[in-house]
Amino acid sequence: MKWIVGLGNPGPNYEKTRHNIGFMALDALAARHGIAIKQSKCKAVIGEGNISGTKIALIKPMTYMNLSGESVRAFMDYYKVSLEDLIVVYDDLDTEIGRNRLRYQGSAGGHNGIKSIIQHTGTQVFNRIRMGISRPQPGYPIVDYVLAPFPRKEAELLQQSIDEAGDAIEFALTHTFEQTMAKFNK
């Protein structure tokens, strides 16, 4: 089973915020393939299905961003899945809006959700799709920025990023992550 974890915060207050772009990407992929993400298990809501003949689980941790690793660990332990089959999708301040960056290892880079996953899995080696949200203007508090909704003027770039993340996930299901990085890192 391949498992895709989208990072975000639960609840309607956070639904359209920059920090929830990982949830948005999973929701779009689920809609594309008719998968319902609604089963409550492993401190998450989960949707299971098949894409390109591959069994997948789409996972949205309900632990809030800073504790995402608790849900990832619970899913790993319950389903006995490998980190090699994991893709984490999340927001990245250091990538501009509309662009995604793929990597298979690295530090948390200041992202508390990734920091929690590293802490609970004991490794920095797992596949990632970092979805750009750009940095705020100097002086604008980071916390306020990531918890703010995307402005209308960024709607087209946001949709492009979400669509490309879905395309990358679909490609990764039938190719190595190295091949996926070569195709989707621009």
Q: Give the pLDDT score at 8.
A: 98
Q: What is the pLDDT confidence band of residue 96, given thresholds at 50, 70 and 90?
A: very high
Q: Is the pLDDT of residue 159 over 90?
A: yes
- Do the strands 2-6 and 86-92 form a parallel or antiparallel pair, or are they unpaired? parallel
Q: Is the pLDDT of residue 166 over 90?
A: yes
CB count, 10 Å around CB of 159?
Answer: 13
pLDDT at 119 over 90: yes
What is the pairing mode between strands 54-61 and 100-105?
Answer: unpaired
CB distance 149 to 12 below 8 Å: no
Name the average pLDDT for the chain.
97
**Residue 20 labeled ligand binder:** no
Q: State the pLDDT at residue 116.
A: 98
* Residue 64 annotated as lining a ligand binding site: yes
Q: Is 78 annotated as a binding residue?
A: no
Q: What range does the domain containing 76 cover? A: 2-184
Q: Report the CATH number that the domain containing residue 60 is assigned in CATH.
A: 3.40.50.1470
Q: Is the pLDDT of residue 186 over 90?
A: no
pLDDT digits (tens, 9 = 90+) for 126-152: 999 999 999 999 999 999 999 999 999
Tell me the mean pLDDT in the region 2-22: 97
Task: Check if the beta carbon of residue 50 is closer than 8 Å to that of residue 56.
Answer: yes
The set of residues, in sequence order, having a beta carbon less than 8 Å from that of 91 and lying 6+ positions away, is: 7, 18, 19, 20, 21, 22, 111, 130, 131, 132, 133, 146
CA distance 68 to 55: 23
Q: In total, how many domains does the chain have?
A: 1
How far is Cα 101 from Cα 14, in angstroms, rounded to an integer? 23
120 is catalytic: no
> Among the options 19, 33, 120, 175, which is catalytic?
19
Mean pLDDT of 112-123: 98
> Could you report the per-residue pLDDT of 36-67, keeping only the tens digit for each?
999 999 999 999 999 999 999 999 999 999 99
